[in-house]
A = this chain, B = another copy of it.
Amino acid sequence: MALPLVLFDVNGTLSDMGRMTQHVEEIGAPPQLAGLWFATVLRDGFALTAAGENPAFRAVAEGALRVVLAGQVLNRDVDDAVAHILTAMQQLPVHPDVADGIRGLTAAGFELAALTNGAATTASGLLERAGVRDAFAAVLSVEDGPGWKPAAGAYTHALAALGRGADDVVLVAAHPWDIDGASRAGLRTAWLNRDASPYPSAMVPPDHEVAQLGDLLSALRT
């Protein structure tokens, strides 16, 4: 039986968004704003997607950042603060489990790709800094498709670019909304649940659940 292609989400799944709390503190804001900001970015991007648009991730991220920073006392002016945060977002590391997990999948013969709601250049830069860019056959962005994940068209556009059928691809993501959307589009799914979080009951559950990327290889073999 041929191995499925393993398609990775990027922001938060491979990149360590937890590092953003430190960067938010650097501009004098409460560290909790990092989580609120990222939820707000996705909320606004999904809203625009639901309304039929396909906005640029960076534009949505900047707009949401200016909203969550409004009324906060910062240690610099707001334009400098926004530039600091958006630059930091471009320079995130991967999670500690990523590099070895990726190499284990490659060694076992799996073809890998990535599909991000962000820019393909940002995702490629992340993978290059982590030394694993060569392990990915393709780094795709929804920028080239009809809308953000979890709209069905985001996944089907990626499947066409990869030349694979939906049931021949496993979407790996840390976000239940991505698992849900991929599952509705027909893909197989694996939820990377690093912090033992509950799964939202309104969403389609994953085919596999792993606590770290190193556990994915054995999960996909069962």
Interface size on A, residues (CB 8 A): 47
- Residues of A in contact with B (beta carbons under 8 Å apart): 30, 32, 35-36, 39-40, 42-44, 46-53, 55-56, 59-60, 62-64, 66-67, 70-71, 147-148, 150-152, 176-177, 180-181, 184-185, 195-198, 200-203
Copies of this chain held together in the complex: 2
| Further 5 A-B residue pairs, CB within 8 A, beyond A48-B150, A55-B202, A62-B201 | A43-B177, A44-B200, A51-B184, A52-B152, A70-B195
Query: Which residues of the partner chain B approach A59 to less than 8 Å between Cβ atoms?
Result: 201-202
A52 to B203 CA separation, bound complex (whole angstroms): 12
When the two chains form their complex, are residues A197 and B56 in contact, meaning their CB atoms are under 8 A apart? Answer: no
- Residues in B with CB closer than 8 Å to A197 are 67, 70
**Cα distance A67–B35 when bound, in Å?**
13
